[in-house]
């Protein structure tokens, strides 16, 4: 079965993908994710930068409360960060490809997608994450 995003409209179809934020038409402020429903009428969809820096981070070393946690049953610790996309927005995201002991604020990162969980129909759902930038 094919992989698909955990939710529609989180990132572009281009390769490599870009997250989709929303720019407030009145203030110019950018948010992520792009608002939905009636609130979306105030925003224009805008593809965000693929690269940024770690603004803050932590390591999740135990399974979060379920629900809402919907990750794999075989829990493995993972890194989370706020990633600053310069001049745009700070995004909360998983990190991948990092040695936990070497994480630091200011490290350069780039957007990627990673497998997250299997859907009831057998498809692999993917989510976004940031990995070390070359």
Considering only CA atoms, which of 117, 33, 34 is closest in space to residue 68?
Answer: 117
pLDDT in tens, the chain (134 residues): 577 888 899 999 999 999 999 999 999 999 999 999 999 999 999 999 999 999 999 999 988 777 766 666 778 899 999 999 999 999 999 999 999 999 999 999 999 999 988 888 888 899 999 999 97
Range of the domain at 118: 3-132
Total domains in the fold of the chain: 1
Q: What is the pLDDT of residue 63?
A: 82
């Amino acid at each position: 079965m094919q992989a698909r995003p955990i939710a529609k409209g989180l990132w572009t179809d281009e390769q490599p993908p870009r997250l989709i934020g929303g720019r407030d038409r009145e203030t110019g402020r950018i948010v992520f994710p792009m608002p939905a429903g009636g609130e979306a009428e105030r925003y224009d969809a805008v593809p965000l930068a693929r690269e940024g820096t770690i603004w803050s981070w932590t390591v999740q070393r135990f399974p979060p409360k379920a629900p809402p946690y919907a990750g794999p049953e075989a829990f493995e610790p993972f890194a989370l960060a706020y990633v600053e996309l310069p001049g745009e927005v700070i995004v909360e995201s998983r990190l991948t490809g990092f040695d936990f002991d070497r994480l630091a604020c200011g490290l350069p990162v780039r957007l990627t997608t990673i497998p997250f969980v299997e859907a009831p129909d057998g498809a692999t759902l993917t989510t976004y994450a940031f990995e070390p930038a070359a």
